Amino acid sequence: MTAIEVRTAEPGATGRTATGRTGWTGSGAGVAVWGVGYAVFGTVCAVTGTPLFGTDRLGWAVAAVGAASVAAGAVASRSAHAAPAHRGVLHPVLRTLCVLAGAAAFGLLMDVITLLFNQAVDSGPGAALHALSALGALLLAATAHRARATGAAAGVAGAADRTGRPQPSAASGPVQLAALAGSLAFVPYAGMKLTWAFGGTFAGVSGAETRAAAERNGASGLWLTLESWGVDGTALLAALGVFLLWGLVRPWGQVFPRWTVPLHGRRVPRWLPLTPALLGAATLAPYGLVGIGYAALGTTGLVTIPLGDFPTEADVLLVCWIGLGAFAVYGVALAAAARSYWHRTAPITLPPQPLEPTPGRA
């Protein structure tokens, strides 16, 4: 049996959710406020003809998702008092809106990396859409979880007064094997990048040529400084990604380390690892899988792949298979690890504790 950390609501406490959380992030109010902003953003882009994802027609779709989120948030804020039929519909609606918002957040990770190393993004409105969508996906996911917990606890007096959080645990064997595969997939990628960073030649391109190309493409001083030290920025991000991946599947990823005084003994908030994990999985998995398909078409000669800075098509394909293969395997592993972490760390609503007789009374 899994050990459970029990939390009991304090007398007179208000604003607690069915999972014992306080605040608006897991409530319908947060979703409604976000939905208003999302709908306004989409409407403005549609009216002004601002293209999103390459088309000026997506603004109305964004506005529609925002409007639906406002309605869903309003219902969720009153879900504890809603009819059972309404509660049954609310959870799938919130999950559908979460999927739509998550799909619109595609590219946020690339925006962050581009802004970090190139000091600019490809599209300001597109980056704003990615950031707003990611925020909405997290709010909708938290509210959907709360709605389901509220429905499960409905009709049980005092069930929301006691919650438990499972003790730190490891992911299942298959998920840990996926994490191992995701880690090993970055070994050839990191080797390729570090070869260039140290001035070597790979796929017909030398390290000096890659630095010159980075300067032409507007790389930031931070990127060029790291390169001069023999440290590739993307290889460093890959190492951080592997650290995140194992934190999601091992128990140590759920508690702060002992040396973090005064945080010793405190649990890691679920959103802290889940936010980058969900964003990374939503970006890297589809990017890598679609890219592998493109590389496969290029390998079979069905499409012609541009050479770019590489001397031959074989060199381009080699780099594509190494890079896109790493993104695909890691992205899928990260999605599996995030799903496992989400379920393993979810608060549990416990039945009310029976009243104990007062000492000294018959």
- Please indicate, yes or no, whether residues 88 and 122 belong to a single structural domain of this protein: yes
- Quick check: 195 pLDDT over 50? yes
Nearest to 107 by CA among 130, 81, 88, 124: 130
Mean pLDDT of 192-204: 88
Give residue 144's pLDDT band: very low, low, confident or very high (50, 70, 90): confident
Residue 129 has φ and ψ, to the nearest 5°, of -60, -45
Check: CB of residue 109 under 8 Å from CB of residue 71: no
C-alpha distances in angstroms, 191 versus 226, 231, 296? 16, 11, 22
Residue 8 within a domain? no
- Please indicate, yes or no, whether residues 332 and 183 belong to a single structural domain of this protein: yes
Of 108, 133, 161, which residue sits at a domain end? Answer: 161
- Please indicate, yes or no, whether residues 131 and 228 belong to a single structural domain of this protein: no
- Please indicate, yes or no, whether residues 98 and 189 belong to a single structural domain of this protein: no
- Quick check: 16 pLDDT over 60? no
- Quick check: 27 pLDDT over 70? no
Instruction: Give the N- to C-terminal CA distance of the chain in Å, as an integer.
Output: 36
Check: CB of residue 24 under 8 Å from CB of residue 101: no
Tell me the per-residue pLDDT of 263-282, one tens digit each, with 9 for 90 and over: 555 888 888 898 889 888 88
Taking the complete model, does pTM exceed 0.75, yes or no? no
- Report the domain count for the chain: 2
Mean pLDDT of 323-333: 94
- Quick check: 30 pLDDT over 60? yes
- Please indicate, yes or no, whether residues 199 and 335 belong to a single structural domain of this protein: yes
Residue 140 within a domain? yes
- Please indicate, yes or no, whether residues 338 and 198 belong to a single structural domain of this protein: yes
Q: Which domain holds residue 252?
A: 173-344
With vertex at residue 131, the alpha carbon angle to CA 25 and CA 37, rounded to the nearest 5 degrees, is 65
Residue 1 within a domain? no
- Please indicate, yes or no, whether residues 52 and 143 belong to a single structural domain of this protein: yes
Tell me the per-residue pLDDT of 82-119, one tens digit each, with 9 for 90 and over: 555 555 678 788 888 988 888 888 778 777 777 766 66
Give residue 231's pLDDT band: very low, low, confident or very high (50, 70, 90): confident
pLDDT value at position 23?
46
pLDDT value at position 79?
62
- Quick check: 36 pLDDT over 70? yes
Mean pLDDT of 165-177: 90
Residues 239 and 227: their CA atoms lie apart, in Å, by: 16
Residues 107 and 126: their CA atoms lie apart, in Å, by: 9
Q: Give, for 175, the enclosing helix (H) or strand (E).
A: helix 173-197
Beta bridge partners of 55: 52
Q: Give, for 7, the enclosing helix (H) or strand (E).
A: strand 4-8
- Please indicate, yes or no, whether residues 200 and 155 belong to a single structural domain of this protein: no
Give residue 18's pLDDT band: very low, low, confident or very high (50, 70, 90): very low
Tell me the per-residue pLDDT of 339-362, one tens digit each, with 9 for 90 and over: 999 889 887 766 655 555 555 554
Residue 9 within a domain? no
Mean pLDDT of 41-64: 85
Of 161, 186, 212, which residue sits at a domain end? Answer: 161
- Please indicate, yes or no, whether residues 220 and 340 belong to a single structural domain of this protein: yes
Residue 254 within a domain? yes
Residue 323 within a domain? yes
Of residues 212 and 222, more confidence is placed in: 212
- Please indicate, yes or no, whether residues 26 and 143 belong to a single structural domain of this protein: yes
- Please indicate, yes or no, whether residues 178 and 324 belong to a single structural domain of this protein: yes
